[in-house]
Structure 1
Amino acid sequence: MNQLSALKEFTTVVADTSDIKSICKYKPEDATTNPSLILQAISSNNNQFFIDQAIQYGKKKGGSYKDKIIHASDKILVDLGVEILKYIPGYVSSEVDARLSFSTEKCILKAKKIIDLYEEQGIMRNRVLIKLAATWECIKAAEELKKENVLCNLTLLFSFAQARACAESNVFLISPFVGRIYDWYVSQKLISKSSKEKDPGVISVCKIYDYYKKHNYKTIIMGASFRNIQQILYLSGCDRLTISPILLKELESNNEKLKRNLIPNNVFLAKPKALSEEEFRWEHNQDAMAVEKLSEGIRNFGRDQLLLEKILSKKM
């Protein structure tokens, strides 16, 4: 049995791609997208019709020129998600504009619009995860959205404070970014690429997993942003892992034995008092890596959203 098949026995494998060929090849349960992956997808000549459909939709919806571009952008996001759902049995994650990450109200409104667009095409909301950056504002948005059966994937998660706040707000799923944590420690020369020490990104997810299972939190942990298959293998047994096609291929090509490393507790402890907003901001602020990587991630996703809008603007 190859390692990809072995991993699927105790971890839900998710494809970190918008590429339909890869999704068909590796047969994941779910798929995740983000603004960078959406940009890659529409750059393909095979996907130009998504742009044409989006432009027509934007013009039909009307409003200001800027409104039309935003409508077209939302349409592309959903149309690609609808296409992906034809090839997977589970969820597709669709991301809210990162520029809204510091407004609970705007995130809720955008999430509802995305869900409405899916439902207009016959896709039930229980097939979609709304991706939000794990800011305090987005965590609170996810808490409210769940009351209306809109499930969220809190992404760009780097600190333990973010993980705690998500669990305490009963968020459906979190995506701790293993590789980007690792990148920061390497860039700060706190570890070297040749180091035999345990990967700090892996350590972070293990800590969250142990805490969630020990206190019986139901929030799903989905490790993300991997740089090599060793990071994936260390986290075998995690609830979900979202993996790029390159690493899925490597796992499929490897027949070495794979063992389960993360195993849930059967003895539960009482849940601690929930973090207040003030406590959350202080605890998150104490983690320099998390502060830097969350800000960088929001900026970069916001940049890719702008690039998408520029492409649509030229066509509009």
Structure 2
Amino acid sequence: MAAPLKQLEATGTVVIADTADFGDIARFQPSEGTTNPTLLFLAAQLSSYSALVDKAIIYARSLPATASTEDRLSAAVDALAVQFGTQIYQLTGRVSTEVDVSLSFDTPGTVAAALRILELYAAEGVARDRVRIKISATWEGIEAARILQRDHGVSCLVTVVFGLAQAVAAAEAGADAIAPYVGRIADWGKLNGSAEEDLGIKTVSRIQNHLRKYGFRTQVMAASFRNVQQVRQLAGVDLLTAAPAILEAVERETKPITAILTADLAKAASDSELPPLTFNGNEAAFRWAFNSDACAVEKSADAMRRFYADTVKLKQLLATKL
């Protein structure tokens, strides 16, 4: 019998290691890797990655003399993300890198930041088509993804997704992928009356089935797993990114892992099971649908605050070297 992770991949799920540790990435041999402010902050504190930090500082110092300290720190963060991302790319063949979360409500700013990140990757020899740009699932972020995909041919991963409205809007915008946070949705559910069922599984299953039923090409990258059972219940999701501890736990499983989510089951679902939902660029309709979902509102804001806090800590760490 195939190893558990191979069984998971056999369901059609592409497995991604949610880590910036090169050793873990090499061990699990995922087909894609990712960075975010939290992973970068943790990794940047390790002496084994000091050379990458030094390169980011050198880049920040090379900016024109008119550049402010804040501009240099922001540039250092982007450069560090690309330094890590380049190493991840060499191990996996594809990498996703996050735009500064403070730009989540700034469409032009997000587009400009994404293009700068791609220029940094190009300087490292990483082709544009091997990079995904991660953008928060705000209305402004989704519009930035639309512009990047349509006008610049940039692959976008819309992240911080906690509800169907965000997923549908991102899919309508043509985003290549979205990342709903299974574990964080489940956590919210436990605190708000969903103790009998895993709200994360329910929500992400609904998102995946909805996009498949209505013919969207956008892939679902399930993220933020708390346990192996969540992985099992989402077997068949397009993409799955999990921390090394979760992937190790999957590898210890003795019961077969079989597909739960399939395109055939999604397409066979009735309209009453998966009602149609469209926005067609209507911002007001999106905002109403989004704000009608308490979990999406609360957890999206919480996730962006957390990423921003880690970005600030990362800048403080880099400032000591700059």
User: Same fold, TM exceeding 0.5?
Assistant: yes
Deviations 1:2-59 (A, max 9, x none): 3211001121001111111111111111112210001111111100111211111111
| Number of the residue aligned with 1:41 | 43
Any conservation in 2 of the 1:128–1:151 contact (CA below 8 Å)?
yes
Pick from 111, 125, 131: which aligns with 1:122?
125
1:280 has 2:286 as partner: yes
For residues 76-91 of structure 1, the aligned pairs below 5 Å read: 76-89=80-93, 91=94
1:93 has 2:103 as partner: no
Instruction: Using the TM superposition, give the Cα deviation of residue 191 of structure 1 relative to its aligned residue in structure 2, in angstroms.
Output: 3.2
For residues 87-236 of structure 1, the aligned pairs below 5 Å read: 87-89=91-93, 91-147=94-150, 148-188=152-192, 190-192=193-195, 197-236=196-235
Helix, strand or coil at the partner of 1:14: strand
Report the CA distance shift for 1:33/1:68 in structure 2 as closer, same or farther (over 3 A).
same
Pick from 44, 53, 75: which aligns with 1:71?
75
Aligned-partner Cα distance in 1 for 2:114–2:55: 21
| Number of the residue aligned with 1:301 | 307
Report the CA distance shift for 1:36/1:112 in structure 2 as closer, same or farther (over 3 A).
same
Task: Kindly provide the amino acid, as one letter, of the partner of residue 212 in structure 1.
Answer: L
1:59 has 2:65 as partner: no
Worse-superposed segment, 99-108 or 252-261: 252-261
Aligned-partner Cα distance in 1 for 2:58–2:132: 26
Unpaired segments ≥5 residues, structure 2: none
Deviations 1:231-285 (A, max 9, x none): 1100000111111100111111223111100110357999856251000001100
Report the CA distance shift for 1:104/1:273 in structure 2 as closer, same or farther (over 3 A).
closer
Helix, strand or coil at the partner of 2:134: strand
Any conservation in 2 of the 1:2–1:256 contact (CA below 8 Å)?
no
Task: Kindly provide the amino acid, as one letter, of the partner of residue 156 in structure 2.
Answer: C
TM-score by length of 1: 0.94
Aligned-partner Cα distance in 1 for 2:308–2:214: 35
Task: Kindly provide the amino acid, as one letter, of the partner of residue 211 in structure 2.
Answer: Y
Report the CA distance shift for 1:278/1:271 in structure 2 as closer, same or farther (over 3 A).
closer
Any conservation in 1 of the 2:168–2:277 contact (CA below 8 Å)?
no
Any conservation in 2 of the 1:129–1:150 contact (CA below 8 Å)?
yes
Aligned-partner Cα distance in 2 for 1:32–1:50: 16
Any conservation in 2 of the 1:160–1:208 contact (CA below 8 Å)?
yes
Aligned-partner Cα distance in 1 for 2:233–2:281: 29
Aligned-partner Cα distance in 1 for 2:210–2:189: 23
Instruction: Using the TM superposition, give the Cα deviation of residue 198 of structure 1 relative to its aligned residue in structure 2, in angstroms.
Output: 3.3
Aligned-partner Cα distance in 1 for 2:252–2:200: 24
Report the CA distance shift for 1:4/1:287 in structure 2 as closer, same or farther (over 3 A).
same
Tell me the matched-pair count: 310
Task: Kindly provide the amino acid, as one letter, of the partner of residue 296 in structure 1.
Answer: D
TM-score by length of 2: 0.93
* Structural RMSD (CA): 1.6
Worse-superposed segment, 289-298 or 257-266: 257-266
